[in-house]
């Protein structure tokens, strides 16, 4: 069920475009903001609200890297695996994260705290290697900094 | 040295507010065009300035605008979109403008929108640029409050609305027709051209998509004239350009320099040369989808014709350096992994070809390569090249591959003959799929 507040926000997005379905990505973003991911139930609700079939909306949702169709942890770590970060040794960071969190790419820690995902270039290649946790960007990373960074997120 | 684009950007400090920006001459170009110039005159001025699009393709901006239908019979509304997707690996220049001086972008967007008589504009910003999103939101609000956006701007009768749209992550969203699909709430597959977006773009209406850096040049061209802009460049190309360097250099970064500054000067004077213990082997001059250049090219001026004559492209002007400690096969594999992941899957050569290329490179890197693999890679560089796929993503992917096979072929062959990676003290790159 979409909440009244979600409907209100989606209605605003719909008012800016010719047809309700043009606002479907915005609607998914709004729902994901609240739930962390898009469950089948959320997908069906959004599809109905903007006048699309669930299959049609799913084909849009799954196209985009940052619409999550599976549950994620409370915090999502996006580790840049693109070229400048590769040159500057992001793989050390990756190994350390796998070890510290005891998860591989695409997995969530047992306590539901972190999900680790590879991500293409974060646009801060002059400060490689880099990663993002939720809205926070970390640059010029070293393995030594990781504990302190991870400890900020509960 | 004149640095019009970055003169008001102070690293580590919040960008200028609208009031502060006005004090240093901000929004003057908006006053000027609305009072003194017709849209056609703005188009002609920009065409005359020889401003080439900074998003990668380098097409004359004024000329691109001139394909938009004008006059009372033209379809409405018309749209202007600032392309702030910037997802190409190695590219980080627009970020500096977006975070450092959002009002300059808004001012440039008003100029462009007036030139084509657009009444609705979007900033299409990638998800990861959180600081930019915050600053642009604030700046758009200030611009509305000051009467630079909205209805009847400065009493001229010109109307323009502006919205920030944040993407949800896909490299394809930067391709201009795919971007329009994303804005329409669809999968970001590219569209067939013609019709060109200038005639039938967003929601089927005339639309211009311009890169952030392109748009940021406009206020300065309006204020100072076409001749001034042309003279900013050291060679045949006009203006200044944001050049960036990443990789094992002493001081990686991004600088505004005259078009035509040599690669050597950028590498040595600005990026500080290679880090101790690392030697230069090659570079991609303008992001992940450009051909390698090598030592013999270091004295080339960074401008569109010079880089093209050397067999590469200026692209975004942000260089990625390959040093002697990193394996060229692994380097190329990392790039191809990116392109294979980000292929939109719409056309078969790209959807099937890029993962094939990735698998072959992985095999070579692991020491499982066969001599015929090189032929298969050569074959792909031709059949995924220009004209064989629906959009420029696959041909872009082939640029670093074909030039790696040309300049670093011995390294590929050594992997195959010695059955291991000569750099194997570094662990082989393992794609995440
Ligand atoms: C796969 C792909 C991704 C692109 N990404 C971007 C981008 O992030 N930003 C950008 O300005 N141009 C990008 N471009 C180029 C745009 O299609 C378009 O040429 C450009 O935005 C036009 O602006 P300009 O004329 O000001 O250069 C991309 C092109 C392709 C094929
Ligand atoms: S070349 Fe690749 S990205 Fe472009 S349309 Fe074809 S599949 Fe999509
Ligand atoms: S390559 Fe990692 S931020 Fe650009």
pLDDT tens, B236-272? 999 999 999 999 999 999 999 999 999 999 999 999 9
Contact B403, B297 (CB under 8 A): no
Report the C-alpha gap between B63 and B40 in whole angstroms.
11
Is pLDDT above 60 for B425?
A: no
In ligand 3, which atom is closest to the CA atom of B92? 4
Collect all residues of chain A within an 8 Å Cβ-Cβ radius of residue B88.
Answer: 121
In the sheet with B240-246, reading across from the earlier edge strand, the strands are B253-258, B240-246, B318-323, B280-284
Residues A15-70: tens digit of each pLDDT = 999 999 999 999 999 999 999 999 999 999 999 999 999 999 999 999 999 999 99
Which pair of structure tokens corresponds to residue B180? 């329009």
CA-closest candidate to residue B53, choices B210, B236, B207, B278:
B210
| Cβ(A10) – ligand 3 distance below 6 Å | no
Tokens of B317: 């002007």
**Cβ–Cβ gap B92/A123 under 8 Å:** yes
What pLDDT, on a 0 to 100 scale, did the predictor assign at position B431?
65
Q: Flag if A84 and B89 touch (Cβ within 8 Å).
A: yes
pLDDT at B338: 98
Chain B residues with CB inside 8 Å of A30's CB?
Answer: none
Ligand 2 nearest-atom number relative to CA B351: 7
- pLDDT tens per residue, range B201-216: 999 999 999 999 999 9
What is the number of H-type helices and E-type strands within chain A?
7, 4
Model confidence at B424: pLDDT above 90: no
pLDDT of residue B11: 86
Q: Is the pLDDT of residue B433 over 60?
A: no
| Tokens describing residue A30 | 């709004």
Confidence of residue A74 (pLDDT cuts 50, 70, 90): very high
pLDDT for the residue numbered B380: 97
The CB of B393 under 6 Å from ligand 2? The reply is yes
Both tokens of B331, joined, read 């380097």
CA dist., res. B321 & res. B282, Å (int): 6
Q: Which ligand 1 atom sits nearest the alpha carbon of residue B174?
A: 5
For the residues of A36-71, what is the DSSP string, one character each? SS--HHHHHHHHHHHT--HHHHHHHHTTSTTS-SS-
* List of chain A residues whose C-beta atoms are within 8 Å of the C-beta of residue B90: 82-84, 121, 125
The count of C-alpha atoms lying within 13 angstroms of the C-alpha of B233, restricted to the half-sphere facing its C-beta, is 21
**Minimal-distance CA residue to ligand 2 atom 6:** B347
What is the spatial distance between Cα A123 and Cα A128, in angstroms, rounded to a whole number?
10
Quick one: what percent of chain B has pLDDT higher than 90? 97
Average pLDDT over residues B262-290: 97
Chain A hits for B341, Cβ within 8 Å: 120
3-state class (DSSP) for residue A17: coil
Euclidean distance between the first and final Cα of chain B, in Å?
47
Helix, strand or coil, per DSSP, at residue B175: coil
pLDDT beyond 60 at B388: yes
Cβ pair A121:B91 closer than 8 A: yes
| pLDDT of B426 strictly over 70 | no
Nearest-ligand number for the alpha carbon of B109: 1
Q: Omega before B195 cis (within 30°)?
A: yes
The b-or-e profile of B167-205 (16+ CB within 10 A means b, else e) is bbbbbbbbbbbbbbbbbbbbbbbbbeeeebbbbbbbbeb
Residue A130 Cβ contacting ligand 3 at under 6 Å: yes
The dihedral built from the CA positions of residue A63, A65, A68 and A70, taken in this order, carries a sign that is positive
* Closest Cα in chain A, distance from residue B388 (Å): 23
Q: Is the distance from CB of B104 to CB of B5 less than 8 angstroms?
A: yes
B168, A120: Cβ pair inside 8 Å?
A: no
The protein residue with its alpha carbon nearest to ligand 1, atom 7, reads: B174
Picking from B92, B166, B248, the nearest residue to A87 by CB comes out as B248
Condensed to tens digits (0 to 9), the pLDDT of residues B73-88 reads 999 999 999 999 999 9
Instruction: Please tell me the distance from the alpha carbon of residue B129 to that of residue A151, in angstroms, as a whole number.
Output: 23
Tens of pLDDT, residue by residue over B305-345, are: 999 999 999 999 999 999 999 999 999 999 999 999 999 99
CA B121 – CA B172 distance, rounded (Å): 20
Q: How many CB atoms lie within 10 A of CB A24?
A: 27
How far is the C-alpha of B348 from the C-alpha of B350, rounded, in Å? Answer: 5
Checking if the pLDDT of B428 tops 60, the result is no
Residue A80 CB–ligand 3 contact under 6 Å: yes
**Best to test chain B binding among A15, A18, A25, A83 (most B CBs inside 10 Å):** A83
**Helix ranges restricted to H, B37-185:** 39-49, 61-65, 93-100, 102-116, 130-145, 176-183
Q: How far is A137 from chain B (nearest CA, A)?
A: 9
CB contact under 8 A, A87 and B326: yes
Q: Do B245 and B253 contact (CB within 8 A), yes or no? A: yes
Helical segments of B71-129, H only:
93-100, 102-116
Residues of A in contact with B140 (CB under 8 A): none
Average pLDDT over residues B269-279: 97
- Please tell me the distance from the alpha carbon of residue B235 to that of residue B191, in angstroms, as a whole number: 36
Residue written as token pair 């990505």? A25
In sequence order, which ranges of B27-101 are alpha helices (DSSP H)?
28-36, 39-49, 61-65, 93-100
First to last CA, chain A: 28
pLDDT in the model for residue A35: 95
CA atoms within 13 A on the CB side of A114: 21
Cα–ligand 2 centroid distance for A47 (angstroms): 27
Taking every pair of C-alpha atoms in chain B, what is the biggest distance, in angstroms? Answer: 74
- Structure confidence at residue B430 (pLDDT): 65
| Dist. CA A149–CA A90, nearest whole Å | 16
pLDDT at B12: 86
C-beta of B343 in contact with ligand 2 (< 6 A): yes
Distance (Å, whole) CA B230 – CA B237? 7
pLDDT at B119 over 70: yes
């Amino acid at each position: 069920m979409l909440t009244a507040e979600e409907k209100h926000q989606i209605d605003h997005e719909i008012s800016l475009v010719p047809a309700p379905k043009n606002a479907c990505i915005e609607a998914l973003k709004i729902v994901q903001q609240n739930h962390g991911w898009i469950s089948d139930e959320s997908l069906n609700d959004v599809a109905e609200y903007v006048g699309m079939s669930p299959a049609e909306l799913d084909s849009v949702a799954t196209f985009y890297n940052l619409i999550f169709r599976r549950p994620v942890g409370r915090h999502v770590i996006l580790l840049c695996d693109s070229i400048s970060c590769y040159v500057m040794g992001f793989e050390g960071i990756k190994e350390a994260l796998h070890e510290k969190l005891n998860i591989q790419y695409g997995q969530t820690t047992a306590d539901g705290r972190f999900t680790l995902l590879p991500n293409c270039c974060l646009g801060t290649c002059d400060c490689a290697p880099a990663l993002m946790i939720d809205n926070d960007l970390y640059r010029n990373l070293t393995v030594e900094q990781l504990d302190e960074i991870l400890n900020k997120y509960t | 040295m004149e640095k019009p684009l970055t003169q008001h950007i102070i690293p580590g400090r919040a960008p200028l507010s609208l009031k502060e920006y006005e004090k240093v001459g901000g929004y003057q170009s908006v006053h000027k065009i609305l009072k003194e110039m017709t849209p056609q005159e703005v188009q002609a001025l920009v065409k005359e300035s020889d401003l080439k699009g900074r998003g990668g393709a380098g097409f004359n901006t004024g000329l691109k605008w001139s394909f938009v239908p004008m006059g009372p019979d033209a379809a409405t509304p018309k749209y202007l979109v600032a392309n702030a997707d910037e997802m190409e690996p190695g590219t980080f220049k627009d970020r500096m403008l977006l975070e450092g001086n959002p009002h300059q972008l808004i001012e440039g967007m008003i100029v462009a929108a007036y030139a084509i008589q657009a009444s609705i504009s979007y900033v299409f910003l990638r998800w990861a640029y959180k600081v930019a999103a915050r600053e642009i939101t604030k700046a758009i609000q200030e611009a509305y409050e000051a009467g630079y956006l909205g209805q009847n701007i400065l009493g001229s009768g010109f109307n323009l609305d502006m919205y920030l749209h944040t993407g949800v992550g896909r490299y394809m969203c930067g391709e201009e027709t795919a971007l329009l699909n994303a804005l329409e709430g669809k999968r970001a597959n590219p569209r067939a051209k013609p019709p060109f977006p200038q005639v039938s773009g967003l929601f089927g209406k005339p639309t211009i998509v311009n890169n952030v850096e392109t748009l940021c040049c406009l206020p300065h061209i309006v204020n100072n004239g076409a001749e001034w802009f042309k003279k900013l460049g050291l060679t045949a190309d006009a203006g200044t350009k944001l050049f960036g360097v990443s990789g094992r250099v002493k001081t990686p970064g991004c600088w505004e320099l005259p078009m035509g500054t040599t690669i050597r000067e950028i590498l040595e004077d600005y990026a500080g040369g290679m880090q101790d213990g690392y030697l230069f082997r090659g570079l991609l001059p303008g992001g992940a989808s450009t051909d390698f250049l090598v030592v013999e090219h270091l004295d080339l001026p960074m401008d569109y014709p010079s880089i093209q004559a050397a067999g590469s492209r200026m692209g975004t002007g942000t260089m990625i350096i390959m040093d002697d400690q990193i394996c060229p096969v692994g380097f190329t594999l990392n790039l191809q992994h990116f392109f294979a992941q980000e292929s939109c899957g719409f056309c078969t050569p790209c959807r099937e070809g890029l993962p094939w290329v990735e698998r072959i490179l992985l095999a070579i890197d692991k020491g499982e390569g066969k001599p015929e693999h090189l032929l298969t890679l050569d074959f792909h560089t031709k059949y995924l090249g220009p004209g064989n796929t629906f959009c420029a993503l696959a041909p872009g992917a082939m640029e670093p591959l074909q030039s790696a096979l040309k300049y670093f072929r011995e390294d590929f062959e050594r992997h195959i003959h010695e059955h291991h990676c000569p750099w194997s003290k570094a662990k082989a790159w393992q794609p995440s799929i």
